[in-house]
């Protein structure tokens, strides 16, 4: 029996291990078992592991809370929602921003398409804040609320480019009848009022 104990003593097995995160030399029982690792133990100590997971749990919770708050605000106060969105976009793009909540005026219908604006996360006819002249920022007199579709079509175009685009559209689709048939075949997103396209 003594011989067996001596044999293990001679092997000089490591009794401590350095944590890959806090870099402390710690006793082996400070590490969780992990059969995927070559030494059968996790590379970071239990404490660091716990902290790591807690951190991600918190981050996930915060993200969920934020998106929930955004959704609630969109329904409860669409103007405030659009205002906040414009503000954070301006900040992200380094764009001028000096509007107040009063500058956000949501019309019933999209000024471009005449479709009813619908407060929604994914709808093409959801209201969205547009910089009238792209690049001048969210400044007094340079914002308007139009549908997301109109905003996406307008994108970065300058007023001159928009006029060129409009001219090109008239040249390419000179016939309203063709347009109607094309719209029907493409199933352009629409807001419930389907009679408009079928007459
Ligand atoms: Zn550690």
Q: How do residues 118-148 score in pLDDT, each as one tens digit?
A: 988 788 999 999 999 999 999 999 999 999 9
pTM greater than 0.85: no
Ligand 1 mean position, distance from CA 25 (Å): 9
Ligand 1 mean position, distance from CA 53 (Å): 13
CB atoms within 10 A of CB 124: 20
* Cα dihedral 78, 82, 88, 91 in deg (nearest 10): -150
Q: Tell me the fold of 13-60.
A: Wheat Germ Agglutinin (Isolectin 2); domain 1 (3.30.60)
Q: How far is the CA of 104 from the CAs of 24, 79, 89, 120, in angstroms?
A: 56, 6, 15, 17
Ligand 1 mean position, distance from CA 51 (Å): 9
Residue 198 in this model has a pLDDT that exceeds 50: no
Ligand 1 mean position, distance from CA 11 (Å): 26
Query: 105 with 146: CB under 8 angstroms?
Result: no
Ligand 1 mean position, distance from CA 106 (Å): 54
pLDDT mean across residues, the chain: 85
Q: Which of 167, 129, 159, 164 is nearest to 147 (CA)?
A: 129
Q: Tell me the fold of 73-174.
A: Herpes Virus-1 (3.30.40)
Q: How far is the CA of 147 from the CAs of 95, 126, 129, in angstroms?
A: 21, 5, 8
Q: How far is the CA of 11 from the CAs of 6, 17, 33, in angstroms?
A: 9, 16, 21
Read off the pLDDT of residues 3-24 as tens digits, 9 standing for 90 and up. 444 555 545 566 899 999 999 9
Same topology for domains 13-60 and 73-174, yes or no? no
Ligand 1 mean position, distance from CA 9 (Å): 27
Ligand 1 mean position, distance from CA 103 (Å): 53
Read off the pLDDT of residues 34-62 as tens digits, 9 standing for 90 and up. 999 989 999 999 999 988 888 888 888 88
Most confident of 91-95, 105-109, 118-122: 105-109
Ligand 1 mean position, distance from CA 47 (Å): 6
Read off the pLDDT of residues 161-197 as tens digits, 9 standing for 90 and up. 999 999 999 998 887 666 666 666 655 555 554 444 4
Ligand 1 mean position, distance from CA 178 (Å): 69
Domain ranges, ordered by start, for the chain = 13-60, 73-174
Ligand 1 mean position, distance from CA 40 (Å): 17
Ligand 1 mean position, distance from CA 20 (Å): 7
The predicted pLDDT at position 122 comes to 80
């Amino acid at each position: 029996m003594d011989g067996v104990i001596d044999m293990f003593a001679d092997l000089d097995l490591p009794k401590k291990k350095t944590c890959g995160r806090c870099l402390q030399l710690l006793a082996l029982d400070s590490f969780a078992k992990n059969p995927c690792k070559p030494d059968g133990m996790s590379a970071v100590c239990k404490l660091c592991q716990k902290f790591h997971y807690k951190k991600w749990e918190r981050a996930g919770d915060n993200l969920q809370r934020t998106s929930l708050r955004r959704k609630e605000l969109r329904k409860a106060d669409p103007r405030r929602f659009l205002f906040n969105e414009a503000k954070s976009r301006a900040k992200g793009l380094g764009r001028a921003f000096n509007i107040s909540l009063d500058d956000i005026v949501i019309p019933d219908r999209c000024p471009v398409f005449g479709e009813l604006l619908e407060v929604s996360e994914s709808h093409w006819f959801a209201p969205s804040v547009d910089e009238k002249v792209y690049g001048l920022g969210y400044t007094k007199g340079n914002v308007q609320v139009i549908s997301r579709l109109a905003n996406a079509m307008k994108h970065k175009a300058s007023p001159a480019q928009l006029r060129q685009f409009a001219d090109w559209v008239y040249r390419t689709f000179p016939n309203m009848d063709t347009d109607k048939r094309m719209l029907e075949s493409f199933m352009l997103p629409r807001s419930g009022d389907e009679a408009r396209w079928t007459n």
